[in-house]
Amino acid sequence: MATTTRSAIRTRVAENLGDLISVTTSGSGSTTTFVATTLKNFAPGTDCDGYSNFDALITKSTHDAYGEIRRVKLDCGYAASTTTVTVESAYSAAINACTCVELYRRPVDVYNQAITQAIRESQWDGTLYKALRDETIVIDNRLSNSDFETFSSTFTGWTYCGSPTVTKETSIVMHGCSSAKVVNTGGTDKLLQCIGTTLPMSEITDKSAQSKFWVYATCACSARIGIDLGTSTTYSNYHSGSNQWELLDVDVTLGSCATKVQQVLEVAASKTAYFDAGWLKVGRICQYDLPSCFFKSGTRLRIEGRGQLSTPTTDAGTVEVGSPQACYIATLATRNVARIMMHEGAGMQRDENFQDINYWNAEAQKARVSRDIPMRKLGVSRYYGSVRIEEDACGKKIVITR
């Protein structure tokens, strides 16, 4: 998901208003002064007190005073002859050479306030939103964490047989962000998950069980999957060792002698294999927890939604949009700056701010109807055919009628 920092949006807003001066200090200063020879290259830099009453923001992230804003003194705040700036109150650390500083005519707090308002306004008519996506539900899957995304020293929901070294792999992945890497240094090792605790055996006798898992291995006969019924275990073919992902599958009928249904992921002695994006079907499931199409077993549901955009409270904080959506927020924020400043101004300044409001309102309207700015409309409603949302004491559920 693309993100944009508040600092980047504020820079765009200030550029829209011609109100950004960014310099790097060139000499040693103090907690109340800094020196930057490039200040004289800007219009205010040729006059004594040319930068008086500006806001000076430290933007060097490694500096102890990073993010601190100080107002330049109204009287004797800038000496053109030495390009030295003096602020009203001290920074928490001395401003020495090679420190990045931004200077604004308008208060930085006004910019930040305007950006917060703009982020909220951009969502009122659905133009922007935080894109949400979840792909953890697999139709008819009885296993938990079968995509191996939840890991804390061990994979949640799985037990180990033997002494395998099992780790969360983030480079060799079939789906999502991670897979299970299983290294066998001794005899045959297994990852196991039993579904008997969530599905009574009396309900599934004489039904079929089907399992499929994506498996990656570089050597033949390194890994396979199986279904253990307590009295016997049925296995798939071994991975071919093709150095790529292969979908292994196994089917078995549950006889009356079955005492359990247990998923088996097996790695041969001294071999390494990766497992990801698997499922085990025993009968149909019609109700699913709504997580934080075609209803064929093994189908992975993609649930998309619209969430609330974050409103960053620091310069490094981010909002969940990229470009050009960030430009739209900056346009709204530019108008908001003029709106805020109009209430504080008088006479000609008030008229100029009013003109700015009208201009940036028009720019925002043009951006709102362009092809690039609005985020796509979602195509699935809350009730569509055989899918509906229900809620009980445990939370919201997706219910599939079929």
Q: What is the pLDDT of residue 381?
A: 45
Dist. CA 112–CA 39, nearest whole Å: 24
Angle between helices 325-344 and 347-368 (to 10 degrees): 160
Q: What is the pLDDT of residue 293?
A: 45
- Smallest CA-to-CA distance from 334 within 111, 174, 172, 128 is with 111
Which comes out higher in pLDDT, residue 348 or 171? 171
Say whether pLDDT at 196 is over 70. Answer: no
Say whether pLDDT at 125 is over 80. Answer: no
For the chain, what is the mean pLDDT?
87
Q: What is the pLDDT of residue 392?
A: 64
Q: What is the pLDDT of residue 352?
A: 82
Q: What is the pLDDT of residue 205?
A: 62
Q: What is the pLDDT of residue 173?
A: 95
Those residues whose C-beta lies under 8 Å from the C-beta of residue 90, and which sit 6 or more positions away, are 31, 32, 70
Q: What is the pLDDT of residue 3?
A: 92
pLDDT tens digits for range 299-335? 666 677 778 899 999 999 999 998 889 999 999 999 9
Q: Report, as an integer, the average pLDDT of 222-234.
A: 93
Dist. CA 158–CA 153, nearest whole Å: 12
pLDDT tens digits for range 156-170? 999 999 889 999 999
Residue % of the chain over a pLDDT of 90: 60
pLDDT tens digits for range 371-382? 788 877 665 444
pLDDT tens digits for range 135-156? 777 888 899 999 999 999 999 9
Task: Count the neighbouring beta carbons within 10 Å of the beta carbon of residue 377.
Answer: 7
Contact indicator for 55, 108 with CB cutoff of 8 Å: yes
pTM comes to 0.66
Contact indicator for 397, 391 with CB cutoff of 8 Å: yes
Say whether pLDDT at 261 is over 80. Answer: yes
Residue 383: pLDDT band (50, 70, 90) is very low
Residue 368: pLDDT band (50, 70, 90) is confident
Say whether pLDDT at 260 is over 90. Answer: no
Q: What is the pLDDT of residue 138?
A: 81
Point out the least confidently predicted range of 59-63, 173-177, 378-382.
378-382
Dist. CA 110–CA 19, nearest whole Å: 13
Contact indicator for 33, 84 with CB cutoff of 8 Å: yes
Residue % of the chain over a pLDDT of 70: 85
Dist. CA 68–CA 353, nearest whole Å: 27
Residue 202: pLDDT band (50, 70, 90) is low
pLDDT tens digits for range 69-100? 999 999 999 999 999 999 999 999 999 999 99
Q: What is the pLDDT of residue 348?
A: 64
Dist. CA 187–CA 43, nearest whole Å: 77
Task: Count the neighbouring beta carbons within 10 Å of the beta carbon of residue 344.
Answer: 12
